[in-house]
Structure 1
């Protein structure tokens, strides 16, 4: 075990670990970026459709909020790339990985909000019925939270308990 980091059977320096984590993070970001960019592209076209002006004022406001959330999600998910480009060669990759990971988590949270707001807007427009649409949207949002955040946190906590029980330091999260 080196420098308080968890002994996970890998024989890697802190720099090698940062390189591996950076590569893993980039793969994750590629998946999320593609989805949010496609969703955002479709959302951008809505305002140019004649039916947009038939939306209620509340739905047009919801649309604008959704667009802003989508733009922020893209910004947060692209930020690690810009962040890496600016700090490259400064020998601070371990810190850059931590910040890039935080920005990615922020981007995923904003993506969750964008998708939830988009679903709400589409279902309100499609059904013209607010009696059950919020319940459907809340259910879907709840599943996103469960799948994207709760399950990984539970797994992480279980792994932490296992590591503590065996005396292994869980220093840095992978």
Structure 2
């Protein structure tokens, strides 16, 4: 008896794995989004300088785009359910996931800059933000590329 996966089984497994990965990222972006929304309704928010409030707005928008991209694959799957389009959905969903975590990294970096600006201000806040951005870029994108040459392209 053969234990090899059929193409349909591989697609189903790959899509299932992608959805599991997206659940992790979605939880992060949803918690971040809730935090960012709550900040706008505090008394201290109105007292903040215009630039800091604009950074907050940009960060909210980055989290919004991230959320839309990370949720899109599940919605696409539901909309195109049983149309034999799983391979197409999976290709697009992979791009959405990568763009989604990229926007999540940007939103998290913006949040770090916001908090650092309130905590220490000035150039130190920018250095902290740059360090956060470099950490995300390295851990999420650069390091996986180092392992990319070992991939066989099957999945």
Q: Structure 1-normalised TM-score?
A: 0.84
Please state how far the C-alpha of 1:131 moved relative to its aligned partner.
2.2
Match of 1:42 in 2: 35
Match of 2:148 in 1: 156
- Indicate the structure whose relative CO is greater, using CA pairs within 8 Å and at least 6 residues apart: 1
Match of 1:56 in 2: 49
Higher helix share: 2
Q: Does the aligned pair in 1 maintain the 2:70–2:96 contact within 8 Å?
A: yes
CA distance in 2, matches of 1:100, 1:131: 38
Q: Does the aligned pair in 1 maintain the 2:112–2:128 contact within 8 Å?
A: no
CA RMSD of aligned residues (A): 1.2
Q: Which has the larger radius of gyration?
A: 1
Match of 1:5 in 2: none
* Other structure's SS at 2:123 match: coil
Q: Does the aligned pair in 2 maintain the 1:76–1:106 contact within 8 Å?
A: yes
Please state how far the C-alpha of 1:38 moved relative to its aligned partner.
0.6
Q: Summarize deviations over 1:7-62 as a string: whole Å, max 9, x none.
A: xxx71121111001001001100111011101100110111101001111100100
Aligned equivalent of 1:86, options 74, 79, 82: 79
- Is residue 21 of structure 1 aligned with residue 51 of structure 2? no
Q: Does the aligned pair in 2 maintain the 1:14–1:94 contact within 8 Å?
A: no
Match of 1:166 in 2: none
CA distance in 2, matches of 1:111, 1:53: 25
Q: Summarize deviations over 1:94-139 as a string: whole Å, max 9, x none.
A: 1211111111111100000000001101110122x21222112111
Q: Does the aligned pair in 1 maintain the 2:116–2:128 contact within 8 Å?
A: no
